[in-house]
Structures are given as C-alpha cells and as structure tokens.
Structure 1
C-alpha cells in the first residue's frame, strides 16, 4: 500500500527525532561523563610507612629529644607519621561487603594521620549565603544595599580584641547547586557537570568522603536540616533530623526544625561533629529575590541564632568544659544572584562566606604572619579577608579532627584556618634559648604545618597515581611530569632541611642564635611554599582535566548531527519538486531505509561471532571494544546506514518504476527542473542564521546571546520596514514590530516587577504604599494589580477575538468553548494576583482558608481548563474523522483551528506559571507576532496566496526557499521570548519557584512538568503549534475549493516545520562542535556545557512537538481516503 504524503511527513519527523536523539546521546556519552570514582579508601595505617614526613630533627638531637616523646604525644597539633608512634589499628569488621556504609571501623584513639586540634566541630550551613551578606557594606561600592549588614554578630566577633574568629571568602566551583557543593565539600573533589542532573534526586555517595572517615574512626556525626544530606549519606549519621527541602515557598519549616533541635544538642555530649543546614535564605531568594524585605528578616533571624549559639558555647568553654576545644563554622554552600538563582559560575554564585570561631583561646595565631596570603578584601576594621577554595574544606577539617583525608581529595590544608585552631606546642629541643617568643611560635607552627602539607601532598600524589592507573585515558603525561617535578623539588627541600637541622644542637653562641632561627624560619617557609605550589598545581590540573572525555563517541555524535541537517535539506529539496510524484514518495523512501538499516547490522554481528579467529591480529582489540559496546555500535551503524540510504536513494527506488527520463531520452530531459529565482529575504535570513551560529564559538557571545538575538531581530525589522515603505503598505505594523523588539527584552527588568516571583506578591507594592493612608493604599494596590494583570488579559482577549472574528474559525461550539475556557482562566488569573497582592501588602486580612484556595485551587483549576480545552479539541477532530468522514472541514482550516485552540487554551496555564510578568509579556508577544504576520504579505513569493497553480499539469516556477525567511524569523522570535522571560542557557536561569505554583508538596514528575512548561512553553510549545498560522496566514478558506488543496497544505506546513527545525538543528550542531573544540577551555563547564545542554534539549523538544503537531495530518489524510 502506498503511503500518503501526510503519513510520510509524520514518519519523517519521527525519523529525525530518532536521528537527533541518537546523535545527542552519543555525544553526551563522550562529553558529559563523570570522572572515574575510585573504590579505594584512606586508612589510619596508610601513613605508617612514610616516615620521611616525620620530625627527624628530634631523632638526631641530644638524648633530651627522646625524653620529650611523651610531651610530643600530648601536643595539640602536628602529624603522627612515625612508625613507632602509629600502631596498626585493630579493625572490627561489621560486614564483608565493600560498600561505604559497611566499612570497617578503626580504633584511632582520637588520632590518626594528624593529632586532633579540636574535639568538636559545629558546622552551620546557610544555603545560598552571598558573600555580601557577611562582609560589611563599607567594603562594597555604592550605597549599602537592603540585604547588607544583617549579620553584625559575625563582624563584632572578628573585631574583638584577641579574637579567635575570622571571616573568609569561600569560593565554590560550578555547578553551584546544593547537591554538587555538598559532594565537593565532603569528598574534597570536583563534582563534574553531569551531576547537575541529580539535583532533584541525590544518589548516595559511594566514594571516600569526610563523613565516612569520621564514622570509621568512631566519630559521631549529628545532622539537622536539609534532607539532601540523608540522601547523600544514608548511613553515616549517628542521629539525623531531616526536613523536606524542595518546597521553595516554605521559608520556615527547615529553619525552625534546625533551631528546635540545635540548642538541646549543644548541651549534650553525644556527638563530635554537628551539622545544621538552614534553607530559608535560599527559599527567599527563589520565591522573592535578594532585595525582598523577607531576606532581611531571615538574615536577622540567623543573626539571633548565631549570637545565642556563641553565647552558649562561651559559657561552656571554660577549662574542662564541654566546648573547651570546639570549633564553630558558619558557611554557605554557594551564593545566589539578585534574582535568587544559582547553578552557574558567575561571581555572585560562586562567592560565598565562611566564618570560623575557635573556643580555644590559647591558639597560636603566629602562622599567618609568616606566610603570605591573598587579600581579597581589605576591611578597615577587621583587616584582610582572604579567600578559601571549597576544595580545601575536606582536607582542612579532617586535619582538625584527626581523621584521614578522603582518598579522592585534591585540596590542601588551609594555613589560616590551621593557625586559628592549632595551639602553640610545648618547647621542643629545637628551641634555642635566645629566641624570642614570637620567633619560637612561628618556627614551631611552621614546622608542624610543613609536616601536615607533606602528608597532604603525599595523599594527593597517591590519588593521582591511582586515578591514572585506573582511568582509560588518565591525565596528560606532560602535566603529570610537571606535578612530579614540583613534588620532587618540595620533598628534596624537606629532606635537606631535616638533615641540616641535625647540626644545630651544638650551637651555644647566643648572638648567633637569633640569626639561625630566622634562617630556619626562612628555610621552612621555602619548604612550605614548595608544597603549596605542588598542591595548587594539582588542584588546577584537577579543575582542567577532571572529566574523562570519550572522543570516539563525541565524534560519532558530531557526525550524526550534520547528517540530520543534510536529511532535512534533502527532504526540502525533494518537496520543492512536488509536482513529480516520485519526489513525494522520496520524502521518506521506506524500502531503502529498512533494507540498508537492517542489512548494516549483519557485518557487525558476524564480526562478533567470528572474533576468536582474529585473536593475535591487530584487529582483535578493536573487536573486543565492539563486543564491549555492541548495542551502541549496532545502533550507530544502523543509523548511519539509514542516513546514507536516504541521501543516495534514487527516484527509481522511490516508486519502483522505470521512469522514461531515467532510462532513456536526451540528457536535458534527465535533468531535474532547475529553480533560479531566489528570495532575497531568505538569503538575508540565512546570513543571520550563519552569524548567530558562528557567534556560539565565543563564550562572550554565548553570555550575551539574548542581545545577539535582539540585534538580529532589529536588523530583520529594518528590512521589513524598508519593504513596507517601498510598498507604501503596512508601515504602521513595521514600526510597531520594531518597537516591540526593543520593548520586550526590557519588560523583565521593569522596576514595577522588582522582587516579584512566580508565587507571591511583591515588596515593591509595600514600599510604594507606605506613604499613603489605608484607603488610598488599598485603591493604589488594586490599580497596580489591574494595570499589570487585568489590562493585559483584557487586551489579549480582545486581540484574539477581533482577529479571529474575520475568519470562519470563530464559529461553532468548539470555538465558543475555547473562548469560554480562556475567559474563565484569565479571570481566575486576575483574582489570583489581586488576592496575593492584598495578602502580601497587609492591607486586608485574608483568612487562611481563602488564601489556601487562592494559592492551590485556582492554579489547579487553570491547569484543568487547559487540559479540558485541548482534550475537547482533540476529541472533536477525532469525532469528525470517525463519524463525519468526508464532510469534515478542509486541511487548512483544521490546522489553523487546532493551532489556535492549543495556543489560546494553553496561554492561561503558561501565564500563571510565568508569574506577574506573564500577562503583560504574553500580550506584548501576541501583538509582536500579529505585526510580524501582517508583514509577511510584503515579502511573499507571489501576490496570490493560492497554494497550487491553476495549471496542475505543468511545473510552475517557484523559489528555492519559499518559506525559509519567515521560518527563520519565527525562530528568532521564539529565541527572543526565551531570553525576554528571564531565562538563559544556564541553570541559574531556571525559575524553580514556578514548579510550586498550585502545589505545596514536592513531587518529582509534577514539579518537573511545571518547570519544563514554564521554561520552554512560550519559546518552544507556542511557536511550534502556532507555525501553521504563519504558513497559512491570509489564506481565504472556502470549503468548495480548499478540500482539493489538502495535499498542498500538508506540503507547505511540512516545509515550514522542516525549515524551523533545520535552523534549530544548525544552532545545536554548531553549539556541539563549539563545546567539543572548547572542551579544555576555562569556561567549558561554566558557559559552553550549559549552552549545549539547553540547545540539545531544545532540539529534541522541537522534534517531539513537531510530531505532536503533525499528528493532525492523519485526520484529513484519512478523510481524503474516505472521500475518494
């Protein structure tokens, strides 16, 4: 049975989805791989054999050194790495499995690689803590912002005399989402980009980490707060008090739970490490923004909590007290933008703060003076604020608690934090009687810090060696050689110093002693800096080479994506020859595709069956690789063969007939009709697409992609204006089109909407109304709401009804149902925002029952109306197809009607998800689209909008690209809408609060659907279902003549969808090539990889939506068969 054009068009789009999906799958398999996670774990006994890091100076001094061994055992800092001082730990096996939760517990007697410097650690995490929340406003330019100076207790504690508190800038590595940051903080590694996909479903960490080491050495860890901790570490806590974390509208449940459990725990001695994770600041940012008054309230609450905690700890920190040797850490896991978003790598997102307070008032405090540290902020009151990479947190805290470093840690022990908590040890035999107290302190602390860095460097070197041995490609040889050179240099200096130190015991001249001490300090500083140079280089290498790229899979993906472009181009060329029946069949030559695809897999199968015969040959390793990845290899070969078959299929294979011109006749008769007329507008559109694509090779242009789109649209608008002036028609529409191109990107940043998010009212209204009395305040509140919500909805309704009243689509029960449903949705949206504004402003006391109905039931009602309208339209068309048959409407009318119904019915749900800007934004988009559609008559190929030539038997001249220009501009409009609605190709552009419109509880699927609809609804869903309106705009629908043109309607709409998806495929292919070329670029994970993810998802979504849109082809294609 011969397939109809509609069926072949639908099948073609399914094939393109398969082709794009396989290409993106293979590329992501090679590019977005996680690093190799090693199954090795650090043990206390590991350092027993590295005696080179021990204090050999003590061994070669007088007998007094040996007498001080017991004193050194009591020292509050320094390593324990001498074999005689580190007995092998008895291991108690809880289980024979190798999972982290079942690892053996080691009896460390409170010490392991290093002697503990603290007994207890309290880690209070403030999620999304910006650096300027903690640092004083005097350190920033301009006037103080509303969110600054709300944590004065931290500033006051650091400014105290003889303070043992410090503030640091805490630098996170992107991606800056909570799960990835917690993983990085506890493992000491760099979670790779692909881990972003686990943000809503955290898998348990299986590699070595700080909490596992604490558990194995008998430390008790108590957690309270964000339940993400329990997902990452399900068995590592002795006690846990998790609270649900994904409801961003809930500002207090998690924080109140932490406060409720925190203070009783501080009085108990059943823990060694206490973790409290507050979420209020993060949720305020997502729900409102940083400038909201709610942010100030939440920060002041934290200030009170911290002050109470410090007071309690100080009251219990007397000698012999419970918290005599307790360290308090208050830190953020990441920052946030002013809009409350995070996930990317901007300074606002990666810069957070760390505050450390040691309860031990006998700390040394002399190490920082000897070592030069970076000063990021010079505060006139508290002094220098330096930075600490989050990569260093795990190794540093492990040192303080006396547990092994996690095996995969690549951070270094921070000198300033170590100086804050480490006591000045008792005098050693190295001390010379003429030394000053300051010099002695510096000498002893430097010596011990050098010894810790020695162990630290050995551990990092050990990890790199193990990683290189296990990973397929390992690390670059030249980089490893450079690291090994740095390590050898540092270790040689270390050994030289120890040897020279053996001759100092004979020094008795007091005048020389001070000079010798200073020389020793300089020498030890040189060794310390050498180790720090090695560790810094190792961390830099990890950041640049962490991911193990699968080049072979990336190449396959890069080859298949251009192949999908070529398939679209060939399909468009064949559709251009639409009067020849063989080219219609050639839209999807089923027989060649099936034969080549199935046949191509046989050689692979035979090679696998016969691979033992190739043993010992150069091909055997390749065959074993194919056997290991057999499913992927067969899939890629099959897809590639189908592409070759599609590209090379001849007209003979399309119809199975021998055409006369193909087998004989003159050479001229064998040529296909050449088309020489070219649409200038399409040429300009092609140039714009090329410019846009080439700009994606630059990270700066990717960041400014919204501005690039606006520039290209403005250029296109100027061309339309030129056409309008030349034709003396549609000048008003051209000017309006240019005006809306300028206005639309600026709506998101209007001061009227400052502080408004998708689920709540605004602090803007509160500040604007404070100066008026209550009655005027209420009136102004209503006026503002009606202006920003009611008026756009009324205008949008009027625009739709006014335009459609001129066509036959505005009659019938279906359209009346659509009008009613849309009007009800718009009315509910207005009621929703009126009530939300009144409640948030405090002008009217709204009962909780009413507000619950407004928050939950109104959005759900709007969702239901959307589903009902779309379902009714679908059921109506199915009814027409099954019952009425040939009496149904024509194809053009059906496509226009279905597109209009979906766009109108879907608009209500989209507006409620887009928040306060939704109604105004969609109204402006609708007017801009109307102007654009009106301008198409200026650049149409002919003066008539008839779809076929009156002379059916003769090929009429037509342009090469009759619909490329409008389709490319349609894609630019879609991209502009994406960026104008506050989105970006970065994860901080996701509006997570939209996922909770109408819901209080977190559900993975329902929240995922709402977030996807809000992100891609206006920029992908509406343009796809509205594309037939563009293609058929201005067509005069008459039932008498239009039914004969169903085939041509399918042809034109298929062309439109092919052109639109072709532009998306070109952009995605260039993005993929760019990210492949720039895979070692400094900004690859910060800029290029997120852009690749968004473009890839966008292309697949376009393919899926086109399939759904073209499914309506079956209605009138089957009707045509019925009628015939």
Structure 2
C-alpha cells in the first residue's frame, strides 16, 4: 500500500500526539476536586451530632487564636532545627522547642518539592502534582478554595512580606504586602532584609490578624554553595533572631483574658546535599514545623518531634481561626493544638474535619463506602451523637469522660484513614496508560525511522505493508494477547485506570492498531536486512496465493 510522504508524516504526527497525550494522562493524575464549584462557607457546616432528637444547632467552637504569624523559611531542612547542630544554628528556637509552650513536628512535604506547589499545599491542603512545576515560573491566581481566601472572606486582616509568588497566587487578598523576587539566587542578603525591614513597625500595630513572612535567603545559599556552606550558620542565626523578635513582640502584647496568639515556624521544602530541591529524598521532603503559643502546655524537656503531613497545617489553622476547612484539603487537624480545649470542643473540631474529608471522599471515589475510614467516621459520628445526648442532659460522670475519649480516638483513626486514602489517590500514577502511551510512541517512531529512506526518495512515497500485516497470523495472535492483557489488568487492579474506563470499541481499535503497527514494523525491518528482500518476496507470494 503506497502512501504519499506528506500523508504518512501527518498520520505519524497525529498518532504520536495521541500516544504522548495518553502517557501524560497517566503521569499527571487528575487532582481530587469537590464536585461543588463554590467554596466552603460557615453556613454550610454540619450541626453537632445528637442522637434521639432533632439536630443540635450548628454551634462552632470559639476560635483558638486571635492572631497568627507564619514565618516560612524557604528550604528550611528538618535537621537545621532538630538535628545535632540545632542548638548552634538556632539556639532560641531550640530552647523553645525543648522548654517552651510549643509543639514540634517533622512535616513531610510531598514531591514536587518546589516553592509554588508547596505554597498551594499549605493554603489549600491538597497535594499539587508535577504539572505545577511548569506553572512555577508564572504562577496564576489561585482560584481553588484556600485558607487565604477564607480568611479574607471572614474579614481577617492579612499582611504579607516575602516571596512574590504569594502576591501572584493571592492578588488583592492582603491589606498590605511587599513582594521580593526569587530569581536572583546570588542575593541572599537584601532578599531577606526587604522582609525584615517591615517587622518593627508591623509588630507594634494592632490592625492585622494574620502576618505571613516568606524568607528566601537560605534557599539561595543552598543553590549557590550547598547545605554545608559557611554561609548557612549565619543565615540560620539571623532567622533565629527574627523569630525571637516576633515571639517577644507577641508576648508583650498578650492581654489577660483575650485569645492567645500562634507563631508558626515552617519550611516549604528541604534541601538536598547538593543544595537543590524538587525531588523526593528525605532531606528534601522533611521540614520542621514548630507551633508556639501560650495556649500549649510548657514542656519539661526535649521530646522527639512527631511526624505530620505538611497539608495538616491547613485544617489546623482554619479551625484555629474559626474558618471553614478548604474543600479539597486532605489534611487532618494536629491533635496537640486542641489539648487545652474542652472535650466537647475537641470532638466538634474533629467532627468538622471528618465531615469535610468524607465529603471530598464522596466526590472523588465512586466506591467511597468501601473505604474503611468512611465507615469509621460514620461510627464515630453516631457515638458522638450519643455522647452529646448525655452531655446535654447534664451527665458529668467519669463514664461520660471515658466515652468521650473513646469517641475522640475513633475520630482520629477515621481522619487518618480518610486522609491516607485521599493522599494515595492524589499521588497514584496510571501506569497502564503510561505504558500504552509509550508503546504507541516508540512503535510509531521506529516505523518513521525505517520508512525514512523511502519517504525522502524521488517518489516521495512510502510502501506500507498494511495488507500483509492484517492478513498475517501474528496480527491476530497479538490482538488476542493484548486484549487478554487488557482484561487481566482492568479486572485485577484495585482501582480502574483511564484506559480501563474507555469503551470496548475504542480499546479494540487501539489493540488492533498497536498489533498492526508491530507487524508493519517487523515487515519494514526485514526489508532493511540483507536477506530482507528475499524474505519479503516469499511472504508476498504466499499472501497472493491466499
């Protein structure tokens, strides 16, 4: 079958694009999104569970914190604070970790460990994919439900200084801001001074509720000379002094009877031994998370930091400020933050977090009812309702307390299971679609290379052995084999992939196309071998007889 070179090239190009698209569809998993396009509102929150009568009012616990300061140090590695050099690098911070009213955690950031996806994770509670790395250079406004939008809607006054990625993601959200560019990596001094120069005046004022600081100098030093550079210690000591200044200012403004403050020290990602980031090594994903507040118990000594997911900060801050949790958040509230609140409030906070996760689970997974976490949440919710009934009746016995602690544990287990299930869904690659796309691309590429001499000849035509391929026994055997593989993969996999969701007609067409391309590829290859023309002639004679 003779085909003009232009037609042949167009055919190859079209199917190469399809193959690449199939591969990318598998490599970039579809993000979990709520089916509701609007953002969460306080009025949409569920009522407290109550058994045996009409639902209780949609009572919300009082916010835990009046003011929140988030100090984000770009590329702050976990061992810079909690490691053996922590006392030398950040002495004041380490003292607060060991003896202060604080909670310390190793917060695990999911790859890609790049700034913009990490900011998205911290504000939405979702886990961005590798496609966000491409968007890192030109960050568009974030339209997804997020903590910053919720705070602005609730009337919280926010101030921001630091990496201008925040300004691009959240335009018109801050009442005052000063963005610094992150592209001049040779600058590790002015890029931080531009943030710190605002601190003295801002900390004296009372006209803000949330202050966000994003320091870039440490990351720039890492890119220039790595984590063992002589510049690292002075920069970390500078960050330690800034945290001390903020902490002292917050303590001096603490008023009797008012809600306490919360100071958060965190990193967006870590730093590899070469000073880079973006991958999934332990040094790149492990970041410190230190929460400081007079609302927490004072420590008697150094404790081993717990391990949380970076996205857990989102629901923790949202509920701590009395805001709804972002719709697409897969995080769970950090339990230590609730330690000084009443048992009723603790259960209510966990119920709100569980309700949000269960709604996202419903919208994201067709078989959500089979998930252990969803069933655990329903059981915990019923037990919570029974506890509420006894509580409102005035029961104050030890039995009620023990029952409440049991419900608390049930909620925690349910939240952990639902969060894990949603996180796995977000990070799951569709290997079947990726392999199918790669096979398509490589088959077509080899056919193109083998047919190139004919296509560039004076005839400008390619003789494709389509008929001989379709009438050969290997074609039918390959069709049968690939169809069997498809059935096996799609019936044995725990969750169906994109290729499995296609209609059987499209799947059969893809199987037939791939089988035919393989037979054409073999036939073209035999022509290029020394004995190729003779073998090809014999095959043509046999086909003619039939």
| TM class by smaller structure | 0.7 to 0.9
Q: Quick check: which one's strand share is greater?
A: 2
How far is the alpha carbon of 1:489 from its aligned partner? 1.6
Q: Which residue in 1 is equivalent to 2:260?
A: 325
| 2:19 aligned residue | 23
Residue 666 of structure 1: CA displacement?
Answer: 11
Map 1:911-950 onto structure 2 (within 5 A).
none
**Residue of structure 1 equivalent to 2:489:** none
Q: Distance in 2 between matches of 1:586 and 1:213?
A: 60
> In the aligned structure 2, how far is the partner of 1:29 from the partner of 1:665?
40
Q: Residue 534 in 1 paired to residue 414 in 2?
A: yes
Structure of greater relative contact order (alpha carbons < 8 Å, 6+ residues apart): 2
The match for 1:178 among 112, 115, 119 is: 115
Matches of 1:416 and 1:665 in 2, distance apart? Answer: 77
SS in 1 for 2:172: coil
Residue 651 to residue 188, structure 1, CA distance change in 2 (3 Å) = closer
Question: CA distance change for structure 1 residues 264 and 640 in 2, over 3 Å: closer, same or farther?
Answer: farther
Distance 1:16 1:285 in 2: 45
Give the counterpart of 1:521 among 366, 385, 401.
401
Aligned residue among 353, 358, 363 for 2:288 = 353
Where 2:264 maps in the other structure, the secondary structure is: strand
Q: Is the 8 A contact 2:454 2:462 kept in 1?
A: no
Question: How many corresponding residue pairs?
Answer: 497
One of 222, 242, 246 as aligned partner of 2:183: 246
Tell me: CA distance 1:197–1:637, structure 2 relative to 1, closer, same or farther (3 Å): farther
1:901-938 Cα offsets, whole Å, 9 max, x none, are xxxxxxxxxxxxxxxxxxxxxxxxxxxxxxxxxxxxxx
- Check whether the contact 1:398–1:404 (CA below 8 A) recurs between aligned residues: yes
Q: Structure 1 residues 225 and 637 mapped into 2: Cα distance closer, same or farther (>3 Å)?
A: farther
Conserved 8 A contact 2:66-2:209: yes
Q: Aligned ranges for residues 927-1076 of structure 1 at < 5 Å?
A: none
The answer to whether the Cα contact below 8 Å between 2:167 and 2:179 also exists between their aligned partners in 1 is yes
CA contact (8 A) 2:443 2:521 kept: no
Q: Aligned in 2, Cα 1:332/1:475: closer, same or farther, shift over 3 Å? A: farther
Per the TM alignment, residue 275 of structure 1 is displaced from its structure 2 partner at its CA by 0.3
8 A contact 1:410–1:539 mirrored in 2: yes
* Partner Cα distance (1:561, 1:534) in 2: 43
Query: TM-score when scaled to structure 2?
Result: 0.78
Give the whole-Å Cα distance in 1 for the aligned partners of 2:376 and 2:22.
38
Report matched runs for 1:24-423 at 5 Å.
24-38=20-34, 39-47=37-45, 49-52=46-49, 82-83=56-57, 113-135=60-82, 137=84, 149-160=88-99, 163-319=100-256, 325-358=260-293, 361=294, 363=295, 365=297, 381-419=301-339
Q: 1:120/1:664 Cα in 2 relative to 1: closer, same or farther (>3 Å)?
A: closer
Contact 2:333 2:353 in 1 (8 A): yes
**Deviation for aligned residue 1:387:** 2.4
> Does the 8 A contact of 1:126 with 1:281 survive in 2?
yes
Offset at residue 486 of structure 1 (A): 1.0
Q: Is the 8 A contact 1:188 1:392 kept in 2?
A: yes
> How far off is 1:82 after superposition?
4.6
CA 1:666 to 1:452, structure 2 compared with 1: closer, same or farther past 3 Å? closer
Structure 2 residue 427 is matched with structure 1 residue 492: no
User: What do the CA deviations read for 1:930-950 (whole angstroms, capped 9, x no partner)?
Assistant: xxxxxxxxxxxxxxxxxxxxx
Distance between the aligned counterparts of 1:650 and 1:266, measured in 2? 74
* Structure 1 CA distance for aligned equivalents of residues 313 and 197 of structure 2: 27
Task: Spell out, residue by residue over 1:860-897, the C-alpha distance to the aligned partner (whole angstroms, 9 max, x if none).
Answer: xxxxxxxxxxxxxxxxxxxxxxxxxxxxxxxxxxxxxx
Q: 1:333 to 1:287 in 2, by over 3 A?
A: same
Q: Please state if 1:446 is matched with 2:444.
A: no
Asked whether the equivalents of residues 387 and 404 of structure 2 are also in contact (C-alpha less than 8 Å), the reply is yes
Equivalent residue of 2:19, what SS? helix
Q: Cα distance 1:545–1:536, how it changes in 2: closer, same or farther (>3 A)?
A: same
Taking the aligned partners of 1:666 and 1:203, their CA distance within structure 2 comes to: 63
**TM superposition shift of 1:644:** 6.5
- The alpha-carbon distance between structure 1 residues 593 and 34, as it changes in their structure 2 partners (threshold 3 A), is farther
Q: CA deviation at 1:37?
A: 3.5
CA distance in 1 between counterparts of 2:414 and 2:68 reads: 29
Q: For 1:788-821, what per-residue CA distance to the aligned partner results, in whole angstroms no more than 9, with x for missing partners?
A: xxxxxxxxxxxxxxxxxxxxxxxxxxxxxxxxxx
Deviation for aligned residue 1:278: 0.3
The answer as to whether partners of 2:97 and 2:290 remain within 8 angstroms in 1 is no
Q: 1:650 to 1:275 in 2, by over 3 A?
A: closer
- What is the CA–CA distance in structure 1 between the aligned matches of 2:236 and 2:455, rounded to whole Å? 66
Deviation at 1:391, TM superposition (A): 1.7
Contact 1:497 / 1:524 at 8 angstroms: preserved in 2?
yes
* Secondary structure of the corresponding residue to residue 329 of structure 1: strand
Tell me the CA shift for residue 541 of structure 1: 0.6
**TM-score (ref. length: structure 1):** 0.40
Deviations 1:642-662 (A, max 9, x none): 87666556999xxxxx99x95
Give 1:590 deviation, angstroms: 5.0
Could you say if the C-alpha distance between residues 294 and 645 of structure 1 is closer, same or farther in structure 2, counting changes exceeding 3 Å? same
SS in 2 for 1:205: coil
The superposition leaves residues 963-1009 of structure 1 with CA deviations (integer Å, 9 ceiling, x where unpaired) of xxxxxxxxxxxxxxxxxxxxxxxxxxxxxxxxxxxxxxxxxxxxxxx
Separation (CA, whole Å) in 1 of partners of 2:43 and 2:425: 30
The answer to whether the 8 A contact 2:48-2:385 is kept is: no
d(CA) in 1 for partners of 2:420, 2:165: 28
Tell me the equivalent position of 1:686: none
- Note if contact 1:594-1:642 (Cα within 8 Å) is conserved in structure 2: no
Contact 2:296 2:337 in 1 (8 A): no
- For structure 2, the residue ranges without an aligned partner over 5 or more in a row are 467-498, 528-532
* Match of residue 1085 from structure 1: none
Larger radius of gyration: 1
Paired with 2:525 and 2:115, the residues of 1 have a C-alpha distance of: 56
What is the rounded CA distance, in whole Å, between the counterparts of 1:276 and 1:169 in structure 2? 20
Q: For residue 253 of structure 1, report the CA deviation from its aligned partner.
A: 2.5
SS of alignment partner, residue 275 of structure 1 = strand
C-alpha distance after superposition, 1:732-759 (max 9, x if no partner) = xxxxxxxxxxxxxxxxxxxxxxxxxxxx
Name the CA shift for 1:521/1:286 in 2 (closer, same or farther; >3 Å): same
**Larger helix share, 1 or 2:** 1
Matches within 5 A, 1:1084-1103: none
In structure 2, what is the equivalent of residue 464 of structure 1? 361
Deviations, residues 453-500 of structure 1 (Å, cap 9, x unaligned): 1111111111222x23xxxxx3555743x2332122212221232344
1:40–1:464 distance in 2 versus 1, CA, 3 Å: farther
Distance 1:336 1:662, change over 3 A: closer
Distance 1:663 1:525, change over 3 A: closer
> For 1:52, what is the secondary structure of its paired residue?
coil
Alignment of 1:512-911 (within 5 A): 516-517=397-398, 519-546=399-426, 554=434, 556-564=436-444, 567=447, 571=450, 585=454, 590-592=460-462, 648=523, 662=537
Q: 1:228 to 1:635 in 2, by over 3 A?
A: farther
After TM superposition, give the deviation of residue 117 of structure 1 in Å. 1.5
Q: Deviation of residue 386 (structure 1)?
A: 1.8
1:327 is paired with a residue whose SS is: strand
Deviation per CA, 1:755-781, whole angstroms, max 9, x where unpaired?
xxxxxxxxxxxxxxxxxxxxxxxxxxx
Distance 1:648 1:159, change over 3 A: closer
Per-residue CA distance 1:19-49 (angstroms, 9 max, x = gap): 76653332112331441534231011012x5
**Shift, 1:244, TM fit:** 0.5
